[in-house]
Structure 1
Amino acid sequence: MTKTRIVALLLGLLLSGCAPGFGKSLPYDAWFLGFLAPSYMEVWIETADVVDIEERVYRQAMSGIAAIQTPPENRGDPKGWPEGPGMGKGKHVIGAKLPRLVYVRWQSLAEPQTYDAYIVISSKIQELMIKPERVRCHGVGKWVTDHRYMFTIGLAPGGIAKAWLSGPCLQPIEIGRVEGDIVTRGPYLGEMKGVYAAKLRPESQAYVDEFGIPFGSW
């Protein structure tokens, strides 16, 4: 065996050892990527791109409006995050292996400001995504084997991105929080000449006008 082939073999073994499930089928058809925002703090996602453990890039895996609640008469509370955040609004990333990296660029419409952030998916999180768990599922009223394949990211003013991992019958667990950077070129990397994709809904604008933005609570 040549030296080149030995190096190639060792590199392949190293990569397979560092990435659980590398080259193998997932225990489900696809994993889900969803987004949410605090009440009234509306978000427009320009792009959410995914890199999987085989270094394949899935551009525009998600875009558009994040899930949000806008109760009338300022009855909502945008401070902090809910104890049990839902899956958010998003899509299944079909054909991808386990995620290694998620890049998201979004418009925080309440400020307004444009941010981007990188969320690195560690091997520990990847292991959680393929680990089967027995759980009493209230939705069907019986014990089932479930997987954590729902990856949810909360986006908040100030460039905050917080991530959870959950399953249909499994409670979400927090897996990371990052502070994104301001995109100095503005919306859509300057292509929109400073014009944002949307305006706040009347309910959201009324809240911001009266109470402002609770920076530091996320």
Structure 2
Amino acid sequence: MKLPAPLLWLVAVLLSGCANGQGRPDLPYGSWNIGLGAPSHMEVWVESVDVIDRRGLVFERVHSGTVSYTGNPVGWPKRVGGGGGKSISGVDLPEFIFVRWQSLAEPQTYNVRINIPLWVREEMLKPREVADCSRKEPRPTKIAYLSTFDIILAPGGVAKIWLTGGCLKSIELGRFEGKISKDGPDMGNNNGQYAYPPSPEAEAYIKKFGIPYGSW
């Protein structure tokens, strides 16, 4: 399988890590999570989420496919996540997250690299006592972790990421600008065809209001 360009030079690192017999990550929970979203009507298909963990090991396609949508086509959501998303097991805390996605609203294909600094990984390991928001009163306290990355993907190749977890307050980590993929959709393996056309609702919204570039 053809590797994304940013990962080619890391294959040797992966092989070296495997050869050294790296075991399961030493984490206080079984897995961490990645949640993917997009503004309403700005439909997205994610081709691949790849991770380089803090051991230097490369994991391809840990997540892909459809995303959830915010309640507004314009701007970022005021609140994100709650600890859901795709469970990422057998992978240590990330140092880099790569996302390759098709922005079906434009249409265009983008790659973005998201750097995860040390302080974020340290926050992911801190146990926090919090009232259980899934329970009605009285709400017992429980130990929770910030163990989910919520990534919102917007037209123009813009991505914004938050660290979330259950009933805990989210931490905004930053806004990242991706690059247009020269290979096009599906790494150039599908004759330039996108995963699917925008829904009739999305097409109607964009025809009437356009794509709100600049709001992200």
**Residue 119, structure 1, aligned to residue 120, structure 2:** no
Bigger radius of gyration among the two: 1
The answer (yes or no) to whether the contact 1:49–1:103 under 8 Å persists in 2 is yes
Identity, % of aligned positions: 46
Using a 3 Å threshold, how does the CA distance of structure 1 residues 34 and 88 change in structure 2: closer, same or farther? farther
Q: Distance in 1 between matches of 2:103 and 2:125?
A: 33
Question: Counterpart of 1:109?
Answer: 104
Offset, 1:171: 2.2
Using a 3 Å threshold, how does the CA distance of structure 1 residues 92 and 24 change in structure 2: closer, same or farther? closer
- Of 153, 157, 173 in structure 2, the residue corresponding to residue 175 of structure 1 is 173
5+ residue gaps in structure 1?
Answer: 1-22, 70-75
Offset, 1:89: 7.4
Using a 3 Å threshold, how does the CA distance of structure 1 residues 154 and 88 change in structure 2: closer, same or farther? farther
TM-score, scaled relative to structure 1 = 0.83
**Residue 35, structure 1, aligned to residue 36, structure 2:** yes
Q: Deviations over 1:63-106 (max 9, x none)?
A: 1111125xxxxxx6311111111259742111111111101100
Q: Distance in 2 between matches of 1:67 and 1:187?
A: 20
The answer (yes or no) to whether the contact 2:38–2:152 under 8 Å persists in 1 is yes
The RMSD of aligned alpha carbons is 1.8
Question: Counterpart of 1:217?
Answer: 215
5+ residue gaps in structure 2?
Answer: 1-23
Q: Distance in 2 between matches of 1:198 and 1:87?
A: 29
Question: Counterpart of 1:148?
Answer: 146
**Residue 93, structure 1, aligned to residue 88, structure 2:** yes
Quick one: which amino acid aligns to residue 31 of structure 1? W
Aligned residues: 191
The answer (yes or no) to whether the contact 1:34–1:87 under 8 Å persists in 2 is no
TM-score, scaled relative to structure 2 = 0.84
Quick one: which amino acid aligns to residue 119 of structure 2? K
Q: Deviations over 1:104-155 (max 9, x none)?
A: 1000000000000000100010011111112222213222221000111110
- Of 134, 144, 151 in structure 1, the residue corresponding to residue 129 of structure 2 is 134
Q: Distance in 2 between matches of 1:214 and 1:89?
A: 28
Question: Counterpart of 1:4?
Answer: none
